[in-house]
Amino acid sequence: MATTKPELDKPLQLPLSPEDLQTINEYLFPLTPQEILKWAVEYLPGLYQTTAFGLTGLVAIDMLSKLTPSPPPLIFLDTLYHFQETYELVQEVEKRYGQHIHVYKPEGCQTVQDFETKFGEKLWETDEDTYDFAVKVEPAQRAYQELNVRSVITGRRASQGGDRASLQPLEVDATGLLKLNPLCSWTFPFVEWYITQNNVPRNRLLDQGYKSVGDWHSTVKSGDGDGGERAGRWADKQEKTECGLHKDYFAMKARAKLEAQQAQELGKN
């Protein structure tokens, strides 16, 4: 394991070689989340934080507010189907930390009516991959291009299980985007402890029986002992663990394009 800070350019020069990525992760893995975030502010180019204002993301926002007077800007992907409590939390965070939040919605849509006119009702039931692409993946890529994002801070942790079980502090996705997971080694009790000790704003739904909050149509209350900390998300889809934001962008884009073409052909017939 690396014990000293590796000699690297500030900011890092992209693309990052596999060797440099491994060296960086060996250095970052034993560090605290605050130390990882401090390193990231110093080294990662075009750094933003993408957040749906879950507990881990809120911890990172609070930590960064205490580490630097100019924390990375925030990006919120508004699917148009969030709970009202989530929208209220967004306003509370903006007021508490004095940060401007870049809000991105599905392309060409400002309201649910706009979205359903474009894609039909209950797209998450008829074609969940296209739904994920339309509400999360495409808006994220649009945000990254318009804001010149090269690196993002995420709220993912290994203890959340599923595709996240082998999470490293720093990853590179298929598009070349750097993804920093500063709390990857923290468990849920650590996150809750930090939220409580630092009086960090949190979604009021978490006090009403929800363990993890996403879109209202795919989030249900979870009884005591039900599953893990993301229990209640996609409850009727046991194999689903990700919303699409952390899947292969190019594969999802190709599939969405193909399905759009097929829908057009059906419309002509």
SS3 27: helix
Q: Which residues belong to the active site?
A: 243
Structural domains for the chain = 18-262 (3.40.50.620)
Q: How far is CA 265 from CA 121, 256, 269, in A?
A: 20, 14, 7
Residue 233 DSSP one-character state: B
More confident residue, 5 or 59: 59
CB atoms within 10 A of CB 228: 15
pLDDT of residue 241: 46
Any long-range contacts for 2-11 (C-beta under 8 Å, 24+ apart)?
A: 2/26, 2/27, 5/39, 8/43, 10/42, 10/43, 11/43, 11/44, 11/45
Please tell me the distance from the alpha carbon of residue 5 to that of residue 7, in angstroms, as a whole number. 7
* Each residue's pLDDT tens digit, 59-100: 999 999 999 999 999 999 999 999 999 999 999 999 999 998
Instruction: Provide the mean pLDDT of the chain.
Output: 87
pLDDT of residue 49: 98
CB atoms within 10 A of CB 168: 18
Q: How far is CA 225 from CA 84, 156, 232, 239, in A?
A: 26, 22, 11, 19
Evaluate whether 56 touches 184 at the Cβ level (below 8 Å). no
pLDDT grade for 211, boundaries at 50, 70 and 90:
confident
Please tell me the distance from the alpha carbon of residue 33 to that of residue 115, in angstroms, as a whole number. 38
What backbone phi and psi angles, to 5 degrees, belong to 257? -65, -45
Evaluate whether 245 touches 136 at the Cβ level (below 8 Å). yes
Taking alpha carbons only, the member of 223, 219, 195, 196 closest to residue 209 is 223
Stretch 15-32: mean pLDDT: 96
Evaluate whether 138 touches 162 at the Cβ level (below 8 Å). no
Helices (H) and strands (E) counted in the chain, each on its own, are 10, 6
Q: Is residue 72 reached through a cis peptide bond, with omega within 30 degrees of 0 on the bond before it?
A: no
Stretch 5-14: mean pLDDT: 93
